[in-house]
Amino acid sequence: MGKAHALAYRSAGAVFGDLPPVRLARFCDTPPERARTLSAQFGFDAVTDDWTALVADPAVDIVSITTPNASHREMALAAIKAGKHVHCEKPLALTLDDAHEMEAAAREAGVRTLVGYNYIHNPMVRHARKLVADGTIGRPVHFRGWVDEDYQADPDLPWTWRSSRADAGLGALGDLGCHLVSISHVLMGAIESLVADTQIIHETRPLPDGTGRAPVENEDTASAILRFANGAQGTLCTSRSAWGRKNKLDWEVHGTRGMIAFSQERLNELQLYVDDGPRGEQGFRTILAGPEHPPYGAFCPAPGHQLGFGDLKTIEVASFLRAIAAGEDAFPTFTDARAFERAIHAIDVSAREGRRVTF
């Protein structure tokens, strides 16, 4: 993810042409040897293995945080105190209390913030939002989404920080499900209430040094039934232990006159069905991403030539640079991310306490 951020900040100006100039001033990583190698690879001016020195450096205006989840709060608060704008990867924080503290600090300091929910910057997601807002599929009545990967499917995979609530916070919800929640917010609005269940499939994992096994403290899978503030219903499912799935982030919006379907593994396509014309001639049609779906045209003048994950991160970075230059908020801010993550923590609470959670 650090590489994705570095490449995005390097390329955003070249892609869009209307952004303030960016200089990669300071790079931080550990151990020092790796930091020096990566700093040279990415083209930074200077390198350190001390993140506090980077945050305090007057040459730095924006701090980009791509560290494991447990360090987000401390680093972001230090950067905010130093008057820096902060671009933090998701999830924003381990807990909602931490997220609230970070959001309040940024608001009081008057700095700009952005959280790395880059999938919502996909031109196809933006177009889907326009279709919903324009009433193309009628009144939206149901959202169905699922996001599966298999990076924790192997029971013999060694224990890592991702299995610890103190280090990772939530499991599949914090890593994957939060992306799905962000998209549901963009397309359907805020979630009002939910009821959920979770499970830990592999309850222990072998320690990396072979001395035994350690408990897995957070969920491998989660499922929730939602009610949105606009009255629509929805379902969310996520798994980090789904064999064969690599980035199966799929969703559908059902309306009274049609529906929209999307798959992240085919992120340049949108499926649209509209109840129009003779029934015998109706069907889904594929909309291929092209210059008609901004900002695709900034990357390529021809439709159907495909954007990728890194391009979505470049769009994200460009939105942040424009917002800072204009003295405005980008999307999603720490405030927006806290709203997204309130839902994944509600899923966790509902599952543990066996009740519906209303926001």
151-172 pLDDT per residue, tens: 999 999 999 999 999 999 999 9
| Domains of the chain: residue spans and CATH | 2-118 (3.40.50.720), 120-358 (3.30.360.10)
Contact yes or no for 334/102 (Cβ under 8 A): yes
pLDDT given for residue 213 in this prediction: 97
pLDDT given for residue 193 in this prediction: 98
pLDDT given for residue 284 in this prediction: 97
Integer Cα distance of 60 and 83 in angstroms: 10
pLDDT given for residue 166 in this prediction: 94
Contact yes or no for 57/81 (Cβ under 8 A): no
Phi and psi at 321, nearest 5°, equal -65, -40
Which residues of the chain fall below pLDDT 50? none
What is the distance of C-alpha 94 from the center of its chain? 15
Single pTM value for the model: 0.95
pLDDT given for residue 156 in this prediction: 96
Integer Cα distance of 245 and 268 in angstroms: 18
pLDDT given for residue 294 in this prediction: 98
pLDDT given for residue 358 in this prediction: 97
